[in-house]
Structure 1
Amino acid sequence: MDGSVGSELINFNYQDEMRKDSMADFNYTTVPGKIKPFLEKIRQIGVPPKATVQWLKTIGFKSSNDTTLLGVLKSVGLVDASGVPTGVWSNYRGAHHKTVLGDAIRTGYAELFAVYPDAWQQDIKDLEYVFSTSSSAGKQVISKTVATFKSLCECAEFGEPNNQPSPVLHTGPMHAAIARPSAQPVNSDARNSHNPSVHIDIQIHISPEASTDQIDQIFKSMAKHLYGAKENE
């Protein structure tokens, strides 16, 4: 057997095994350095009916390793499971392509962002740890998975993390009242009234991830609706 052919077979089998070991929820490419020029290219050309290996070759990505770029498109929702471009692809070709990609990455890597809301700012070791705990893949595959994620993030814009859960105000029984209005003198008319008295307790559940501004807004709203209503009586 020719030496060059043998090396190609070994390379193919090696890549195939890597793909089998890859994380089920996160595709990766063996050529993360090509992600940026690849994304730039798809913004310049027309939208294909389907993203295929042959299509890759027609736009200049002819290496056998370049085929792994197709999986990256699926990871961020630019194409569906069959390779057909989605609305995200169309939006990505617009002026706000970086923020479109940022949103797509948040969605595609939702599990990662659940651990690190600012995942794009985390260092490689922390990201490798998260990916490795969700996969039985080897170190090299995990490294490529992280490199793929990092390369995608370099082409996107995220802004400040804004997916913190909003504090929720619940009414109902409580273990201890936050504040109870001081007792007011009851006039004789009130004593003779047959209207039932009403006692309301308020319980507030605030997420531990809530920001100081969010907490302040809760108490400002309480002051407005509770004390403000009393002043208007």
Structure 2
Amino acid sequence: MANGNASFPKIAAASWWKLRDLFKQKVPAIVTPTYLVSTLSMSEASAKSNLIGPFKKIGIIDGDGKPTDRAYDWRDDQKYKAVCENLIEDYYPQEIKDIFHSPDTDLQQLTNWFMSHARCGEPAAKMYARFYILLLKADPSEAEEATGKKKTIKKASVKPKQKEVKTVKKLEAEVSESDPSIQTPVTPIPAHAAQPVQTVLNNAPELHINIQLHISPESSAEQIDKIFESMAKHLKDFNK
């Protein structure tokens, strides 16, 4: 257990989840810096200080880098919560467990606690705090976001609800009763727009033309006859 001027576990959440995902696929015989460099695309120095050291500290791998029984429980979703609880019990003093026991604990207050008890700067204390909160949450579903394996939701084709279909049919029936000549589409429309084409043509407005002629009194009878003859010739097909 860590007490006083001590160092607590600090592991970045992304590395925690990505390595766990690798263990879920296949537990390696031994975790080496080159294994981490190849699988997590990190430098060898970073692998040694940020993963191998901390994972040895919390008992996921032993002193030789071999996975322990805890590693097998850690990768199991059903046992993951128990592993997190055991890590808190084994590596943190009772004081922090009494004060900060909820996943929604204030990050800054927790950081201040680690700065005081680990005698470290704020950046390191914040890493301690974030990892402690990760253990408090003990939620394996958080791995989906960290490893880029979010569940995809298939979009179903949009279908009208049964209630909406009944409502539309009811409206269609009401419109049809009020005017049998209306051919109701999916949604009610104005009666004049729904009438059959033949009905619209039969009700087309009639065209009336009034023609006024101004004939000079000096025109002869022969000239007047020619005027009417010409009118008859040009207007005889007007109504066809």
What TM-score do you get using the length of structure 2 for normalisation?
0.46
What TM-score do you get using the length of structure 1 for normalisation?
0.47
